[in-house]
Amino acid sequence: MRMCAIAVLAAVLLGGCGGVVSKAPASDDATSRYDERLVGFWHADAVASGQGKPKPSQDEAILAIGRKEGADRIFELIGVELHPDKRLELSRGEFTATTIDAKDYASLGLPLTDKAEAKERSWGIVRYEMPDADTLIVVGMDEKAVAADVKAGTIAGATESRAGSAVTEPTLVVTLSASTTVLRAYLEQRGDGAFATARPLVLRRLHLR
């Protein structure tokens, strides 16, 4: 997992090149909510995330989360990444938060290559928890478990296996096609079983004042 801001979230959501994407978010206008706790500056804790101690040659990054301008229940992500060659790189994204069966979820809008195709946007679904005010733990969906549910007809979707190479492992991509209402019922029913709880991303809050 590359320990940078937006990319590290994508790694959790997509497991690198594989993972689970959804054609619908896990919340709509009626079920999205504003979670004040998420607002602030964050950085990935590589050790707590199981990535080992960062090396001097790795990128450094922070992630800023705040309310999107003009929207009450949409969050904006801005990642600032400093590469070893001293180049800065910015990345942006947005997400909505919701609660299902007393557990917190977020739907991260995945990047589009063509803004004209916004109606075809896909979403990465994560579950998050905050054991304290300065720690944010994020887990993505487990592609193998969700693929099994798709094949069993538990939820509508499609699976695709992609062969690896000499330097990469084979990947599994699952695309869920259920509506937001059906997706929420699935998440409530499956709970931990649909998420890669053994592969958490741990973020720590940065205090700038």
The 10s digit of each residue's pLDDT in 16-53 is 456 899 999 999 999 999 999 999 999 988 788 776 66
Output 56 or 102, whichever has higher pLDDT. Answer: 102
* DSSP 8-state class, residue 72: S
Query: Residue 79: which pLDDT band, with cuts at 50, 70 and 90?
Result: confident
The token duo for 25 is: 């978010």
d(CA 134, CA 67): 18
Q: Which band of pLDDT confidence, cut at 50, 70 and 90, is reported for residue 14? A: very low
Q: What pLDDT shows up at residue 113?
A: 45
What's the number of domains the chain is made of? 1
Pairing type for strands 40-44 and 60-67 reads: antiparallel
pLDDT reading at 116 higher than 60: no
Nearest alpha carbon to residue 63 among 125, 8, 139, 133: 8
Asked if residue 1 has pLDDT above 60, the reply is: no
- Whether the CB-CB separation of 128 and 137 falls below 8 Å is answered with yes
Instruction: Name the strand (E) or helix (H) holding 76.
Output: strand 75-82
pTM attached to this predicted model: 0.85
Q: Minimum mean pLDDT among 35-39, 78-82, 137-141: which range?
A: 78-82
Q: Report whether 203 contacts 44 (CB < 8 A).
A: yes
**Domain of 131, in residue numbers:** 5-206
